[in-house]
Amino acid sequence: MNALNSHDTARAATVMIDGGQQLGAVLMFTLPGVPVVFAGDEFGLKGHNGEASRTPIPWNDPDRVLADLRDDYAALAGLRREQPALTGGGIRWLHAHGDALAFVREAAGSSVLVIVARDAAEVTLPAGMLSSGQLEALTEAPAFATGRINAGLESTNPAASGQNRANGAAPSALICTRGPAAGIWLLPATALP
């Protein structure tokens, strides 16, 4: 079970950095396991341990809604439902250093790249970590993003970038965040042996 909090813990919005609950939700829906949404998480409710963490959903009291995250949770649940890699795929870690994590979830016919950073970060994925088609997919907008995140391709020799790509040499990918951010890219499926 992947849960950010429960009726026995402080609510995520109370103890996490600004934007942390969205980052946690990305991990909750994309890591192996089953995402568990505690009632009220989708409204960014706050509360410390005990009864204060069991704040009921404020259906009729919009002033108590701290952050309406229903669209984010719905989008993440939709991606999980549509991508076999997120429900039954393996995980391949690409980067785990400092404030950033990057991994790929892979299954036959489905491949998903997830980048999560709790602060400003630069993640370089060298040529060979992803296929050239998968790297090209990073030039498209992510299927889901929160915070400021962008991805691009780069050559080890910027002056020869176009020439390297024309000769079939794979570039590396550079993903940058400006503060807490996460992105999910749908990639071409990994070729199975």
pLDDT value, residue 156: 58
In the predicted model, is pLDDT for residue 189 greater than 70? Answer: yes
Same domain, 60 and 106: no
How confident is the model at residue 170, as a pLDDT?
Answer: 66
User: Cα(30)–Cα(104) distance, rounded to whole angstroms?
Assistant: 9
The more confidently predicted of residues 133 and 155 is 133
The enclosing domain of 159 has a CATH number of: 2.60.40.1180
169: tokens are: 């040499």
| d(C-alpha 168, C-alpha 165), whole Å | 5
Instruction: Give the residue, 165 or 56, on which the prediction is more confident.
Output: 56
Residue 53 has what pLDDT?
78
Mean pLDDT in residue range 10-29: 91
Where a domain ends, among 49, 66, 82? 82
Label residue 68 by pLDDT band (50, 70, 90): confident
Note down the domain range covering 105.
85-187
State phi, psi for 99 to the nearest 5 degrees.
Answer: -100, 10
Alpha helices by DSSP H, 46-150: 70-82, 84-88, 132-137
pLDDT value of residue 166: 52
Question: Which of 41, 57, 82 is at the close of a domain?
Answer: 82
Q: What is the pLDDT of residue 161?
A: 47
Residues 92 and 76 in one domain: no
> In angstroms, rounded to a whole number, what is the distance separating the alpha carbons of residues 80 and 26?
10
Q: How confident is the model at residue 66, as a pLDDT?
A: 75
Which helix H or strand E contains 102, and what residues bound it? strand 100-107
What pLDDT score was predicted for residue 55? Answer: 74
Average pLDDT for the chain = 88
Give the pLDDT score at 160: 45
pLDDT given at position 164: 47
Are 20 and 63 members of one domain?
yes
Do 115 and 147 belong together in one domain? yes
Instruction: From residue 171, give the alpha-carbon distance in Å to each of 95, 101, 119, 159, 178.
Output: 17, 20, 25, 12, 23
Mean pLDDT along residues 127-139:
91
Its pTM stands at: 0.88
